[in-house]
Amino acid sequence: MIVAERIRHAVEADAFYDVPRFPSAEAAAAEHVRLQVTISLGVATAVRPVSPKPDEVVRRADSALYEAKSTGRNRVAYAAPEEEPSA
């Protein structure tokens, strides 16, 4: 969870500049335009032996990502903890 927040913050704080794809008279000016870049992340964790299938962890992280996107930009959402298997 801490790692995801660090990544999110690093992307937000870094400087990204527009790089023109084709040379033109406006290319030099475009290189000095700072872009505001943010990311949203979905995080899921697994504790063995509860999650024997990696695709389940990915599915939970994907659900958390959609939650982060639906609640706004530049966020980290955490998947609900795994449920213990019934005996």
Query: Each residue of 33-71: pLDDT tens digit?
Result: 778 899 999 999 887 766 568 888 899 999 999 999 999
CA neighbor of 38 nearest in space, from 17, 9, 61, 65: 9
pLDDT score of 25: 65
pLDDT score of 54: 84
- The beta-strand segments (E) located in the chain are 16-17, 34-35, 41-43, 76-78
Alpha carbon distances (Å) from 78 to 22, 26, 39, 85, 86: 41, 43, 14, 21, 23
HSE (side-chain half, CA atoms, 13 Å) at 8? 17
Which is more confident, 45 or 25? 45
In this prediction, what percent of the chain has a pLDDT beyond 70?
74
The pLDDT of residue 14 is above 80: yes
The pLDDT of residue 29 is above 80: no
Mean pLDDT of the residues in the chain: 83
The pLDDT of residue 22 is above 80: no
CA neighbor of 38 nearest in space, from 68, 67, 13: 13
